[in-house]
Copies of this chain bind each other. A is one copy, B any other.
Amino acid sequence: MSMKRSFIREILEAIDEETISFAGGLPSEKLFPHEDLKIATLKALENPKVYQYTISNGISELREQIAQRYTNEGFPTTKDNILITTGSQQAMYILAKFFENKDITIEEPSYLGAMNIFRLNYLKMQGVKLENDGVNIEQFENSFKNTKLTYLIPDFQNPSATTYSEEKRDAISEIVKKYNGILIEDSPYSELYFEKKSKYISASLPNNSFHLGSFSKTLVPSLRIGWIRADEEKIKSLMIIKESIDLHSCGVSQYILAEYLKDEAKYEKHLQEIRDDYKAKAIYFSEQLKNILPEFKHQTPKGGMFLYGTFGDNIDTFALVQECLKKKVVYVPGNQFYIDKIPNGEIRFNYTHSSFEQIEKGLKLIKSCL
């Protein structure tokens, strides 16, 4: 085993409380529904089964609730299509183990955590250029016809914030069908839209897809509950890996979520609060960038948690971040999101976890390092 730790996890552990962090994908604590989760917790603790071992695929009530949300959106799903996982990080790990040693087509830039998991399980990654409206379709087909397996984040992608156009979603779906391949669609940010929700690509590929979801960005991360949606046959295969990894995900967390989700209207209201808050932050972040760092080219995000852009080729943002750390501000340099990590001028900013004051101060500190 010769693996490097994730740059982001290392940074999260190294920085002190004074450092302004645009690095992690941390949701805003101010939006956590403390009181409602406490009520749900007290109800959950009344369940006589709450502390005992439970089944590997997850408690029935929670799988049912997740399935219902898919069905309501026009993607027919039952609880047997759902596998509860210890965060969507574990969902990814289970799939990487399932597809061990295979070739896989990914976006470049792509999610750092997924890339590390793929390396750990010997998947051979082929990068395809991500454009403003999704991957380059010609490049994608050229790669996918060989790999027959792809990992995509079509909604408010991490790190690029890109959202796929309807046309590109349809094109991806057609290509996956044409080669009878598999799409892994990672959707942790799909509910965090500022304008409208896009249709999942998996909905048109119910038997050729794994769709990944999580409560980490919509409710709270520390319960560590995510899920995989797939056809029943695939779910059964994944369960063997799941139960080898940790028998089952935290039972108490599952019962808490099942209680919380009983009131759908409350959850919807909560989601709308997050969207409103993050939208205001995204617009402010983008405006401050235009004022303070006008040379940083970017688009204002339409959802999710990240803003991505570039200083152009003259600035090495990986070298720059070392300087920024000394001045107590941090972001993730773009090279981290590429297979070959060659330094470039790109940056991923998280805008959800900082206050308006911190955003302005942090960007001015970065400016002072240039």
Contact = CB atoms under 8 A, between A and B. Distances in A.
A45 interface: yes
A264 to B, nearest CB: 21
Contacts of A223: 51, 250-252
Interface stretch (A84-92, A125-133, A205-213, A290-298): A84-92
A32 interface: yes
A260 to B, nearest CB: 12
How many copies are assembled? 2
Nearest to A245: B93
B37 A51 contact: yes
A13 interface: yes
Contacts of A248: 224
A89 B26 CA distance: 28
Given A224-B250, A250-B223, A9 B243 contact: yes
A41 B45 contact: yes
Contact of A52 (B29, B86, B252): B29
Contact of A222 (B6, B89, B98, B252): B252
A56 interface: yes
Contacts of A56: 9, 13
A113 B50 CA distance: 23
Nearest to A27: B52
A216 B87 CA distance: 20
Contacts of A32: 51-52
A12 interface: yes
Interface of A: 1, 3-6, 9, 12-13, 24, 26-27, 29, 32, 34, 37-38, 41-42, 45, 48, 50-56, 86-87, 89-90, 93, 97-98, 100, 113, 116-117, 120, 216, 220-224, 237, 239-241, 243-253, 256
14 contacts: A1-B240, A1-B241, A9-B247, A13-B55, A32-B51, A50-B222, A51-B222, A52-B221, A53-B222, A120-B241, A120-B244, A223-B250, A223-B252, A252-B252
The 4 tightest CB contacts between A and B, nearest first, are A222-B251, A51-B220, A250-B250, A86-B246
